[in-house]
Structure 1
Amino acid sequence: KLRNLRTGAVIERTFNAGEKVPRAHLERRPSQYLYNDGSSYYFMDMENFEQLGLGRAELGDAVNYLKENMEVFILDYHGKVLGVELPNTVELQVVETTPGIRGDTATGGSKPAKLETGLVVQVPLFVEEGDVIQVDTRTGEYLKRV
């Protein structure tokens, strides 16, 4: 499968043995997430301090993990922003979850928890509102309580 970096379209193609495909060179620009105004998410380039606004469509699932002042990489291909590269893990606060029932921790069950960014993840029963947890940005899974 090949993805067009300009349009995002995916096509299937079979290659012959020995056929070479040129590698796309993406520029990774260190940036810092600043804020969102409801329609755009704003980042500051850490090298030239310019601000860049990106829409939800360009960011995809990354919006679920963005916290103010978080350092990320903006992925750029010939002047077109393709998205952001997040750190592998982020620490987010639990803002809403059901209380754990005493004695349920031994069963190894889980419950949904809403995080400060609006993301909902499954967490162990011992996690409570106000706890800070570590989440894997690649899978969206709970890793540990911090």
Structure 2
Amino acid sequence: MATTSDIRKGMCLEHNHDTYIIVEFQHVKPGKGNAFVRTKIKSLTTGKVLDHTFPAGHKVQDVRVERRQYQFLYEADKRLNFMNQETYEQIDIEREMLDGVQFLKEGEVCEVLFHAEKEIPLAVMMPQYVHLQITYVEPGVKGDTATNTLTPAEVETGAEVRVPLFIKNGDLIKINTETGEYMERVKN
């Protein structure tokens, strides 16, 4: 058992007969009234994100999880196959359990959250940033870079990302997997 003062981003908890992960939280102490914790929690079974407010000092049932490194191998029938890099054990995970799946390429190492007591996978966490190669982008016109204009580009996984006009086919770029935004061009 934990209290609301123990709530942190990434913490897993049991709530309403489901397992949730804390996406965002904010401790609030208003001028009048009691303190509370405002949270965004994501269901690890359905993927729904809920806004929930806990009163200060409220007891929450935390779930003990283990984080393990798994490498993505391939996708078959909307299921993703991952391999543990230490034991070579393979697991299948539903595509919906992964945020940012459009940026996942073969060989990418992800963190899989396992329920410690039940030994079942709860969620797959993509790395915050990935490096992907541009496969197609419309060429920019010389002199057209005075403004911070973005153009759609396709990366090697088939996802579309908006990039600056100076990016060319074959360039390697850094992408934020949480927001899907272009971060920078990567030097080879």
The TM-score normalised by the length of structure 1 is 0.85
Q: Which runs of 5+ in 1 are unaligned?
A: none
Aligned residue for 1:145?
185
Aligned residue for 1:116?
156
Q: Which runs of 5+ in 2 are unaligned?
A: 1-39
CA distance in 2 between counterparts of 1:137 and 1:102 reads 30
Range with bigger deviation, 37-46 or 134-143: 37-46
Aligned residue for 1:51?
90
Which has the larger share of strand? Answer: 2
- Residue 109 of structure 1, CA deviation: 0.8
CA distance in 2 between counterparts of 1:13 and 1:35 reads 36
- The higher-RCO structure (CA 8 Å, 6+ apart) is 1
Structure 1 runs of 4+ off > 6 angstroms?
none
- Residue 134 of structure 1, CA deviation: 0.6
Which has the larger share of helix? Answer: 1
SS across alignment from 2:60: coil
Going from structure 1 to structure 2, the CA distance change for 1:8 and 1:17 (only over 3 Å counts) comes to: same
Query: Which whole-Å deviations, capped at 9, do the CAs of 1:2-59 have from their partners, x for residues lacking one?
Result: 5554455556654333222132222211111112235322110123211112222222
Query: Which whole-Å deviations, capped at 9, do the CAs of 1:94-118 have from their partners, x for residues lacking one?
Result: 1111111111122221100111111
CA distance in 2 between counterparts of 1:72 and 1:83 reads 10
SS across alignment from 1:18: coil
Identity among equivalent pairs (%): 43
Number of equivalenced pairs: 145
- Residue 92 of structure 1, CA deviation: 0.4
- Residue 69 of structure 1, CA deviation: 1.3
The TM-score normalised by the length of structure 2 is 0.68
Aligned residue for 1:75?
113
